[in-house]
C-alpha cells in the first residue's frame, strides 16, 4: 500500500502526524510545496489535492505502481497564484 501525503495538508480528517505513523509499515511519499490554496483546506485546490505539484506526484505514483525506484520526498518550490 502506498500513502502520498502533503506535509501542509490542512484537512483535519487527514493530519500529517497520522500518516507519518504508518511510514514504517507502508510505502510513503511526502510532498511539500506547490501553489497556495485556492479552495478550502479539504478541497482539491489546496495542499490536500497536491495543488501545483500534481505532475511530480503522479509521476512518483506511476514509478511505485511499476515497481521502479520512486522518490520518498517531493519538494517543489512554493508558487504564486
Count of domains forming the chain: 1
The pLDDT value given to residue 80: 65
| Burial of 64 (C-beta count, 10 Å sphere; 0-12/13-18/19+) | middle
For the cut 80, the answer to whether the pLDDT of residue 3 exceeds it is yes
At 15-49, the pLDDT tens digits run 888 787 776 788 999 999 999 999 999 999 999 99
pLDDT recorded at residue 17 = 80
SS3 state of residue 59: helix
What is the extent of the structural domain holding 63?
2-78
Mean pLDDT of 57-76: 97
Amino acid at each position: 500500500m502506498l500513502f502520498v501525503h502533503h506535509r501542509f495538508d490542512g484537512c483535519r480528517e487527514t493530519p500529517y502526524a497520522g500518516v507519518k505513523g504508518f511510514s514504517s509499515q507502508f510505502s510513503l511519499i511526502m510532498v511539500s510545496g506547490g501553489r497556495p490554496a485556492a479552495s478550502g483546506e479539504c478541497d482539491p485546490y489546496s495542499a490536500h489535492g497536491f495543488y501545483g505539484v500534481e505532475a511530480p506526484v503522479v509521476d512518483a505514483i506511476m514509478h511505485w505502481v511499476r515497481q521502479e525506484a520512486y522518490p520518498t520526498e517531493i519538494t517543489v518550490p512554493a508558487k504564486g497564484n
